[in-house]
Amino acid sequence: MDKSNTASGGKPETRPGLSLVSSSPSELIPVYQISPLQDPRWDEFLGRHPRSSVFHTTAWLDTLRRTYGYQPICLTTSPPGDALQNGLVFCRVESWITGRRFVSLPFSDHCDFLIDTPASVPALLATLARECEKQKQAHVEIRPLCPPDGLQPFFSPTVAYCFHALNLDPTLETLFSNFHKDSTQRKIKRAEREGLTEQLGRSESILEEFYRLQLLTRRRHGVPPQPRSWFQNMIDCFGEALQIRLAFKGDRAIAGILTLRHKNSLVYKYGCSVAEFNNLGGMHLLFWRAIQEAKELGLRQFDLGRSDADNEGLITFKDRWGATRSTLGYLRHEASGRLPIASKQTSADWKSRFAKQVFTRAPNRFLSLAANLLYKHVG
């Protein structure tokens, strides 16, 4: 795809018509390409669209660009010079390991279509699918929290996750009473009895402790860690909208969470801990403090993110906060001539099992190297 140019007056110039898609025998809908990091309409659009999330923000998109070199692209039916009415944002992932593909969006739990009317959906999807074929991409993956009508015949389901969100409208007393009494409430009280303390912020020392815990946790789960630069870039891009919270037993950090804030939502993105101290309730204390602060700020939702459908422990943990559980389904358009999704599963499972064995036993130096060299291929 051509990238947006900047006109002499400093305002991004939008190049029209990646293609013209017929929505009816008598009507053609032009589709335009913009750069959300350059187009001054993007932030204003997100501010008024009810389904915009933290993963649509320029802060998130710029973190992707700075860390992994992904260039965010948006398709819209809104002409240059008009206010944006819709947008489908994605990145091109170029990998010699995992293949070339379009993703909306890499490392994002979900990424809804920002549309005004259902009539715009076929035009945007057909354009995206056609570009996948034209540029010889393996596939296009989309991650809508609320899939719009019109996805067929362009996209098919691939994998389903559990998604949890906690409504913050009730009082703190009501929220606490809705927590699971034997685990969540008890763990918060246990943490307080144990004298666990909390530190929060974005300083170098807090990031260092958080990343140390992150390496421990990723090794325990047998998955590669994110590069440290990812978290530093998040701090630089999000500023005060990002918060790292650490729980300490004495002078030792034993648990940490990273949250992001967008409009009226708090988003839990990363959590990590020292397994031998999990019984002290450090993670529970941090979640409770985050909820208390969110209420003080007048936020209305705590987005607890996605969980693998077979991760019963994490799903149960989120259930016990009184959060509402729903299904988050990813969808994919496979390029012509590619193997059906199901036929690749055996190979993918074998690779996953092998990688887990490697990363579980790897020293920190290897994990850091893998983070810098391999993580951008995951997307």
Which spans in the chain are helix H? 41-48, 58-68, 120-134, 172-178, 186-193, 204-221, 228-238, 282-296, 312-319, 345-361, 364-374
Tens digit of pLDDT at every position of the chain (379 positions): 444 443 334 444 444 444 433 343 334 789 999 999 999 999 999 999 999 999 999 999 999 999 999 999 999 999 999 999 999 999 999 888 877 899 999 999 999 999 988 888 888 988 888 888 888 888 999 999 999 888 877 899 999 999 999 999 999 999 999 999 999 999 999 999 999 999 999 999 999 999 999 999 998 988 888 999 999 999 999 999 999 999 999 999 999 999 999 999 999 999 999 999 999 999 999 999 999 999 999 999 999 999 999 999 999 999 999 999 999 999 999 887 554 444 344 333 434 444 454 555 556 666 666 666 677 777 6
HSE (side-chain half, CA atoms, 13 Å) at 51? 16
Q: How many CB atoms lie within 10 A of CB 198?
A: 15
Nearest to 255 by CA among 307, 306, 312, 194: 194
Question: 267: buried, middle or exposed (CB in 10 Å: 19+, 13-18, 0-12)?
Answer: buried
Q: What separation in angstroms does the CA of 365 have from each of 219, 231, 287, 370, 378?
A: 12, 18, 30, 9, 20
Q: What is the CA radius of gyration of the chain?
A: 22
Q: Which CATH class is domain 5-154?
A: alpha beta
Domain ranges of the chain: 5-154, 164-326
Read off φ and ψ for residue 128, nearest 5 degrees: -65, -45
Q: What residue type is 60 in one-letter code? A: W
Tokens for 49, please give them. 């669209």
- Do 5-154 and 164-326 fold alike per CATH? yes
Topology of 164-326 in CATH?
Aminopeptidase (3.40.630)
Q: What separation in angstroms does the CA of 349 have from each of 280, 342, 346, 353?
A: 35, 11, 5, 6
Tokens for 4, please give them. 């947006």
- Tell me the pTM: 0.87
CA distance 362 to 341: 31
Tokens for 102, please give them. 């379009």
Handedness of CA 133, 135, 136, 139 (dihedral sign): negative
